[in-house]
Structure 1
Amino acid sequence: MKTTRPTAPSATARFVATHSVLTLDARHPYAAKSLVDAQDMHRTVMSGFRGWVDNGSRDARAQMGVLSTWSVDLKRASLVLVVQSGVPGDWSRVPRAALLDEPHTLTVDRTFRVGDTLDFRTVVHPTHSKSPAGGSADAKVRGVRVAHTRPDHVKNWFLRRLQAEGEPPAEESGLARVGATADPAALAVRMLPTVSSPAPHKGLRIIRAEIRGSLTVTDPATLVAALTRGIGHARAYSCGLILVR
Structure 2
Amino acid sequence: MNTTAATPHSLSDPAGAGRFVTSQSLLSLDARHPFTGKSLIDAQDMHRTVMSGFLGWLDDGSPGPRSRMGVLSTWTIDLEKARLNLVVQASVPADWSRIPRAALARTPETLTVDRTFRIGDRVDFRAVVNPVRSVPPPAGSSPNTRGTRVPHTRPEYVKKWFVRRLQALGEPAVAPDGVTRIGADTDAERLAVRMLPRVSSPMTRKNLRIARAEIHGTLTVTDPETFVAALGQGVGHARAYSCGLILVR
Tell me which interval the TM-score lies in, with the shorter structure as reference length.
Answer: over 0.9
Counterpart in 1 of 2:7? Answer: none
Counterparts of residues 1-245 of structure 1 (less than 5 Å):
11-134=16-139, 142-245=146-249
Secondary structure of the corresponding residue to residue 92 of structure 1: coil
| C-alpha distance in 2 between matches for 1:141 and 1:118 | 41
Residues 86-142 of structure 1: per-residue CA shift (max 9 Å, x gap)? 000000111110011100000000000100000000000011111223487x99864
- Greater CA drift, 54-63 or 181-190: 54-63
Q: Which amino acid aligns with 2:74?
A: T
| C-alpha distance in 2 between matches for 1:24 and 1:173 | 41
Secondary structure of the corresponding residue to residue 90 of structure 1: coil
Aligned residues: percent identity? 65
Q: Which amino acid aligns with 1:119?
A: D
Structure 2 length as normaliser, TM-score?
0.91
Secondary structure of the corresponding residue to residue 16 of structure 1: strand
TM-superposed CA distance for 1:10, in Å, is 5.8
- How many corresponding residue pairs? 236
| C-alpha distance in 2 between matches for 1:212 and 1:139 | 39
- Equivalent pair of 1:10/1:221 in contact (CA under 8 Å): no
Secondary structure of the corresponding residue to residue 224 of structure 1: helix
- Equivalent pair of 1:27/1:77 in contact (CA under 8 Å): yes
| C-alpha distance in 2 between matches for 1:181 and 1:10 | 20
| C-alpha distance in 2 between matches for 1:80 and 1:149 | 25
Secondary structure of the corresponding residue to residue 107 of structure 2: coil
- Equivalent pair of 2:166/2:182 in contact (CA under 8 Å): yes
- Equivalent pair of 1:10/1:220 in contact (CA under 8 Å): no
Secondary structure of the corresponding residue to residue 93 of structure 1: coil
Q: Which amino acid aligns with 2:28?
A: T
TM-superposed CA distance for 1:75, in Å, is 1.0
Structure 1 length as normaliser, TM-score?
0.92
Q: Which amino acid aligns with 1:107?
A: T
| C-alpha distance in 2 between matches for 1:151 and 1:160 | 14
| Unaligned stretches of 5+ residues in structure 1 | 1-8
- Equivalent pair of 2:194/2:214 in contact (CA under 8 Å): yes
| Unaligned stretches of 5+ residues in structure 2 | 1-13
- Equivalent pair of 1:70/1:81 in contact (CA under 8 Å): yes
Counterpart in 2 of 1:6? Answer: none
Q: Against the structure 1 CA distance between its residues 205 and 118, is the aligned structure 2 distance closer, same or farther, given a 3 Å change threshold?
A: same
| C-alpha distance in 2 between matches for 1:76 and 1:135 | 54
| C-alpha distance in 1 between matches for 2:177 and 2:80 | 44
Output the aligned Cα RMSD. 1.7
Q: Which runs of 4+ in 1 moved over 4 A?
A: 138-142
Q: Which amino acid aligns with 1:25?
A: D
TM-superposed CA distance for 1:52, in Å, is 0.5
| C-alpha distance in 2 between matches for 1:172 and 1:90 | 41
